[in-house]
Amino acid sequence: MNVTDRFLDFVKFDTQSDELTNMTPSSPGQMEFAKYLKSVLDGMGLEDVELDSNGYLFATLPANMEKPVPTVGFIAHIDTSPDMSGRHVSPRIVKNYDGGPITLNEKEQIVLSPEEFPELHNYMGEDLIVTDGTTLLGADDKAGVAEIITAVAYLQSHPEIKHGKIRIGFNPDEEIGLGAHKFDVEKFGCEFAYTMDGGAVGELEYENFNGASAKVTIKGRNVHPGYAKHKMVNSIRVANNFIAMLPRWETPEHTEGYEGFYHLVGIEGGVEQTVLSYIIRDHDRARFESRKKEIEHLCRKTNMEFPGCCTVEIKDQYYNMREKIEPVMHVIEIAEQAMRDSGIEPRVQPIRGGTDGAQLSFKGLPCPNIFAGGENFHGRYEYVPVSSMEKAVDVIVNICRIVADR
């Protein structure tokens, strides 16, 4: 079975994560998919195939050489984003893409257009896997899952390619920031690993945002509006003032590269109480800490006008893995060589987000991120070129070979 067939098989599973359940995995579909993957790995004859009660699946491809070499791991997450439905995914392959608009859903008039998504021009003449416009596709990160399994199957069928011990790890709940929380790094037993969870071909990432969440709770006082003068405190209006005090241009829609932001992701409330949910992001640790302090400062400022009205709870989510990767830059050099050996020019760039690899790096497993090939993740316009997945498979195989050669 090739990588495309595996991918099309895997996207049938509804594996949206859910941050409200407080369970691991956070949704039943993830465990269903993990059990299926276990049966696939068992059927391949891999060793140490273990699925724990939290949905973490590990397996081993034994070394086929006697010389001791480092154990390398490849990791992908089995959940898909809660931003859009992943139920009843209906993919199709657009053969030999001609460069024009792709009608995903004629009835709903949903069109994937190069005018809105100019990256499509990079894939002229290639086969693209797209959605029907009613769900996301799931290339984030089922493409990574399919690529890892396909690469391991290739190594099994080509024993002339010498490699050391290879570990596979599939985990739940990456999309809600919990993918690495219960990942047993010691049990995984690798000197270093790679997450196959990036975007377009060539992406290689070892810098990511420092990330935190902030929950701002504003208490109001409700009084009959006809008799409310000097009595009512409308928490919605106070919340609006809080929102307006944050820098207007330091938001996701106005930033790029290494620029950080405050992102308001949710508002819930009424006159009595309003809750603002933010995420805070910055590559620079000092600026990251400053952003958290600014949220706290604005809370105190709000309380000066409305005493006792505002409280804030800030939780760190992950940190920039760069400080953990720089001491072991040979891990990046191996990936760069593997890409060049596959005819790909590496594009080292910062992640404007986070990965399981960031948290794993801080747990003692250096774990940069490699492209999985997809575009427009988390929405109806997601697609993945077949050739991009095939190139990712080649890179995995080359990494295993290079580690053995070194």
- Would you state the pLDDT for residue 232? 96
- Would you state the pLDDT for residue 73? 98
Same fold, 3-207+320-405 and 210-317: no
* Residue 249 amino acid letter: W
Q: Is the peptide bond before 141 cis (omega within 30 degrees of 0)?
A: yes
How distant, in Å, are the alpha carbons of 151, 165, 168, 206, 260 from that of 401? 12, 11, 16, 22, 38
Question: What are the residue ranges spanned by the domains of the chain?
Answer: 3-207+320-405, 210-317
- Would you state the pLDDT for residue 328? 96
- 257: how many CB neighbours lie within 10 A of its CB? 8
b/e string for 64-78 if b means 16 or more Cβ within 10 A?
Answer: beeeebebbbbbbbb
- Would you state the pLDDT for residue 60? 98
- Would you state the pLDDT for residue 101? 97
Instruction: Give rounded-to-5 percent helix, strand, coil for the chain.
Output: 35, 25, 40
Q: What pairing do the DSSP bridges indicate for beta strands 347-348 and 203-205?
A: parallel
Rounded CA-CA distance 212/189 in Å is 29
174 is catalytic: yes
Domain covering 3-207+320-405 in this structure, CATH number: 3.40.630.10
Q: Which CATH class is domain 210-317?
A: alpha beta
pTM above 0.85, yes or no: yes
The DSSP annotation for 192-259 comes to EEEEEEE-STTEEE--B-EEEEEEEEEE-B---GGG-TTT-B-HHHHHHHHHHHS-TT-SGGG--TT-
* Residue 253 amino acid letter: E
Where would I find the beta strands (DSSP E) of 2-134? Answer: 47-51, 57-61, 72-77, 92-94, 102-105, 110-112, 128-130
- On the CB side of 341, CA atoms within 13 Å amount to 17
**Where is 325: in which H helix or E strand?**
helix 322-325
| 141, 173, 174, 197: the active-site residue | 174
Question: For residue 76, which of 7, 169, 10 has the smallest C-alpha distance?
Answer: 169
- 291: how many CB neighbours lie within 10 A of its CB? 24
Tell whether the torsion through CA atoms of 104, 109, 110 and 115 is positive or negative: positive
- Would you state the pLDDT for residue 353? 80
**Mean pLDDT of successive 10-residue segments in the chain (406 residues)?**
97 95 96 98 98 98 95 98 94 97 95 96 97 96 98 98 98 92 96 96 95 96 95 97 97 95 96 97 97 98 97 94 95 98 95 87 96 95 98 98 94
- Would you state the pLDDT for residue 354? 77
Q: For residue 168, list its beta bridge partners.
A: 59, 74
- Would you state the pLDDT for residue 54? 97
Angle at 390 between CA 32 and CA 68, to 5 degrees: 85
Question: For residue 27, which of 37, 18, 35 has the smallest C-alpha distance?
Answer: 18
| 79, 132, 197, 205: the active-site residue | 79
* Residue 258 amino acid letter: Y
